[in-house]
Amino acid sequence: MKNFLPSEYKKNEKLRINHSYLVEQFSDYTKVFKEIEKVVKKGDYTLGKEVDLCEKNFAKRTGAKFAISVGNGTDALLLSLKALGVGQGDEVITVPYTFVATVGSIVTAGAKPVFVDVKDDYNIDENQIVSAITKKTKAIMPVHWAGRPCEMDKILSIAKKYNLKVVQDSAHIIGAKYKNNYLVNYGDVCTYSMHPLKNLNVWGDGGFIVTNKKELAKKLYLIRNHGLKDRNNVEIFGYNSRLDTIQAAVANYKMKFKLDNITKKRIENSKLLDKLLAKNENVILVKREKYLKEVFHLYHINVNKRDSLQKFLIKNDIDAKVHYPIPIHLQKAAKFLKYKKGDFPVSEKLAKTSLSLPVHEFINKKHVAHVVNTINKFYKL
């Protein structure tokens, strides 16, 4: 048994156009050290003043009345479900085309994941939700895939009609908007990740839950810190999922000095990729909608001969990724749910045709041109 991540980092580090940017994103680390030094001098490591400031800054960024910081994005999902009363015997509707954390949080909460398929834009097919609702359904967990908002008007309408909670997996989507509105306005909570590869990232793990509901926020503040009202009084039994003050200092630095540019550059790079790749009939792009502000945590294309194209791109110094080759309903861990191959055809199709291209803020126009020219060369255009 060993940690598999170091070998993954090493495998990709020599590529000129890399998907990961773990070194470049904090090349100004000496400036961040100065922020961390302030924390060290105060000995303010757990739920310190930087955490309070971080929650205030994040609430402003997401248009929320309340922002509750937690240990990571997965805990954000789990604690949201627990605070909303989701547990043993309940069902939560979500999608099989997602990272394992989405589904894992439902199972860890004691509930049963119930899948509906996605559409060609990778997001939940809202027209399939009603048919998946049973007497046991307690919540809907839409995943805003790759930085593109789901159709929240329709999802919220269904939730209200059937008295369901809405927990938005917003791990990819800091800064995005739906019909010019903040996503927190749709449903009960939005949950965010600050994993090092996210658009807003820290030097480890970190997460956020945002909500406009005061009583729910009160419960979340308790549940993330053992249920403690103060040092000596426990109101409920909770969890230990606190954002470290050091990580909060890193996040505050990123929000103040970098996040706006990160979002801007990703949108610019994606628009350029859209424009150039539209000329290649072998590449299928997601249709962009004017009422959606996408922030492109990932940039996806759908192609034939996906695996061969990926190898060709890597051979030409371009780190193309597959997110993800096996949908959750076909994973070993999901066998108890008794789904089978063919149950979710769009998810299974995307798993075979989807390819993720580098789009982050360290990619420039020359890099984009090289990526597109290499794809064209593969298809002999």
Q: What one-character-per-residue DSSP string does 175-187 give?
A: T-EETTB-GGGSS
Q: How many CA atoms lie within 13 A of 314 on its CB side?
A: 14
DSSP state of 286: P
Query: What is each CA distance from 126 to 25, 93, 115, 144, 293, in whole angstroms?
Result: 36, 11, 12, 12, 19
Which one of 3.30.1510.10, 3.40.50.11540, 3.40.640.10, 3.20.20.240 gives the CATH number of domain 26-256? 3.40.640.10
| All residues at 6 or more sequence positions from 237 whose CB lies less than 8 Å from its CB, including other chains | 226, 227
Rg of the chain on CA atoms, in Å: 21
Q: How many CA atoms lie within 13 A of 337 on its CB side?
A: 25
| All residues at 6 or more sequence positions from 164 whose CB lies less than 8 Å from its CB, including other chains | 133, 137, 138, 139, 140, 158
Which residue, among 221, 242, 301, 315, has the nearest Cα to 15 in the 3D structure? 315
Per-residue pLDDT of the chain (381 residues; tens, 9 = 90+): 778 777 766 766 678 899 888 889 889 999 999 999 999 999 999 999 999 999 999 999 999 999 999 999 999 999 999 999 999 999 999 999 999 999 999 999 999 999 999 999 999 999 999 999 999 999 999 999 999 999 999 999 999 999 999 999 999 999 999 999 999 999 999 999 999 999 999 999 999 999 999 999 999 999 999 999 999 999 999 999 999 999 999 999 999 999 999 999 999 999 999 999 999 999 999 999 999 999 999 999 999 999 999 999 999 999 999 999 999 999 999 999 999 999 999 999 999 999 999 999 999 999 999 999 999 999 988
pLDDT at 327 (0 to 100): 98
Sign of CA dihedral 277, 310, 204, 171: positive
Write down the H helix ranges in the chain.
5-12, 29-42, 49-62, 73-83, 100-108, 129-132, 152-161, 214-223, 245-257, 259-277, 306-315, 345-353, 365-378
pLDDT at 23 (0 to 100): 87
Residue type present at position 50: E
Residue 135 to residue 343: CA distance in whole angstroms: 22
Query: What is each CA distance from 367 to 314, 328, 380, in whole angstroms?
Result: 14, 33, 20
**Pairing mode, if any, of strands 207-211 and 66-70?**
antiparallel
Residue 350 to residue 363: CA distance in whole angstroms: 25
Q: Give CA torsion, residues 208, 214, 218, 223, to 10 deg.
A: -50
Residue 308 in tokens: 């061969």
pTM reported for the whole predicted model: 0.97
Residue 79 in tokens: 């604690």
Letter string b/e over residues 141-177, b meaning 16 or more CB atoms within 10 A of that residue's CB: bbbbbbbbbbbbeebbebbeeeebbbbbbbbbbbbbb
CATH of domain 258-378: 3.90.1150.10
Residue with tokens 């509930």: 111
Q: Domain residues of the chain, as ranges?
A: 26-256, 258-378
Q: What is the DSSP string of 105-119?
A: HHHHTT-EEEE--B-
| All residues at 6 or more sequence positions from 192 whose CB lies less than 8 Å from its CB, including other chains | 58, 62, 73, 76, 170, 171, 173, 174, 200, 207, 208, 209, 210
